[in-house]
Amino acid sequence: MAAQILDGKALAQELRAGFKERAAALTAKGLKPGLVVILVGEDPASQVYVKNKVAACEAVGMYSEKLVYPADVAPAVVLNKIAELNADTKVHGILVQLPLPAHFDEAAVLEAIAAEKDVDGFHAENVGALAQGQPRFIPCTPYGVMKMFAKGGVNLSGKEAVVIGRSNIVGKPMALLLINAGATVTVCNSRTRNLAEHTRRADIIVAAVGKPRFVTADMVKPGAVVIDVGINRLPDGKLCGDVDYESVKEVAAWITPVPGGVGPMTITMLLANTIEAAERKAGI
């Protein structure tokens, strides 16, 4: 039987309707939630991501601003701006679009953002809180995946989960969230031996590899839940995930499509984090 689809697009719409109400309630108190997105350079993919983030904020009635710097800007200019935004009461969330040009110390930039405005959840303080099981801001992509599990009624406790990928933005925080939810978690990377032996044991697979159709049906246990975080551009311009959707959907119980799966949830959870930041500031 073909897998059921975890529809990120539909869930994103449902959640965003709730955000509109929360943003309106805050605005009525003079505390319109505000997000500033900083973009350095002209990477075309980053430009699209930033445009979409700003538009998504505006669509739910939040304040949003995009600051664009040339690729050769001095890091001190950006750091000074972040310091200014940290002190700006209109701004509840600050996001620096990654990757930054090579002359930037990415970690130093992320640490410069005030932890209470770090809506991407990449500041060491927020990473530490997540690792301790007391999250404040959860990185948006894995946060979105957790919402999809909840929507599908997927119980994580006691399950074997395999995360493929160990990046700071997806793989590692995903693994922490699964650990916190009581799953038994294996995190694989490019040096993992016999990857399929791990994935075939898994009740839950999260693929965050960045390689088109990398996870094939023979790597998946019948009845598994398969989450595809990957966004890969094919030579014909079409998007595809890290999972071979057509074959894996015949084996899995639940699957996320690309596009329309995890992607729409990522920006949705950025909105969630910014509204949460504003609500905390307002004492709600």
**Which amino acids are annotated catalytic?**
53, 97, 120
How far is Cα 125 from Cα 141, in angstroms, rounded to an integer?
18
| Residue (32 or 151) nearer to ligand NAP, CB | 151
Q: Is 263 in the site for ligand NAP (CB under 6 A)?
A: yes
Asked if residue 232 binds ligand NAP (CB under 6 A), the reply is yes
* C-alpha to C-alpha distances, 279 to 79, 83, 147, 245, 267, nearest whole angstrom: 26, 22, 20, 39, 18
Minimum Å gap between C-beta 261 and ligand NAP is 7
Task: Say whether residue 281 binds ligand NAP (CB under 6 A).
Answer: no
Question: Would you count residue 190 as binding ligand NAP (CB under 6 A)?
Answer: yes
Residue with tokens 């998504």: 56
Count CB neighbours of 106 within 10 A: 15
DSSP 96: E
- 189 binds ligand NAP per the rule CB under 6 A: yes
Cα–Cα dist 165/220, whole Å: 16
Please provide the distance, in angstroms rounded to a whole number, between the alpha carbons at the two ends of the chain. Answer: 46
Q: According to the binding rule CB under 6 A, does residue 191 interact with ligand NAP?
A: yes
Candidate residues 9, 20, 66, 166; the one interacting with ligand NAP per rule CB under 6 A? 166
259 touching ligand NAP, by CB under 6 A = no
> Is residue 27 within the footprint of ligand NAP (CB under 6 A)?
no
Which of 26/188 has CB closer to ligand NAP? 188
266 is an interface residue for ligand NAP by CB under 6 A: yes
Stretch that binds ligand NAP, among 131-139, 173-181, 185-193, 272-280 (CB under 6 A): 185-193
Q: Do 198 and 192 contact (CB within 8 A), yes or no?
A: yes
Helix residue ranges per DSSP H, the chain: 8-28, 44-59, 75-86, 106-112, 124-131, 140-152, 171-180, 195-199, 245-248, 262-281
Q: Which residue's CB is nearer to ligand NAP, number 157 or number 191?
A: 191
Interface with ligand NAP, residue 269, by CB under 6 A? no
- Residue 67 phi/psi, 5-degree rounding, is -115, 125
Residues that bind ligand NAP (CB under 6 A): 141, 164-167, 169-171, 188-192, 195, 208-211, 229-232, 262-263, 266
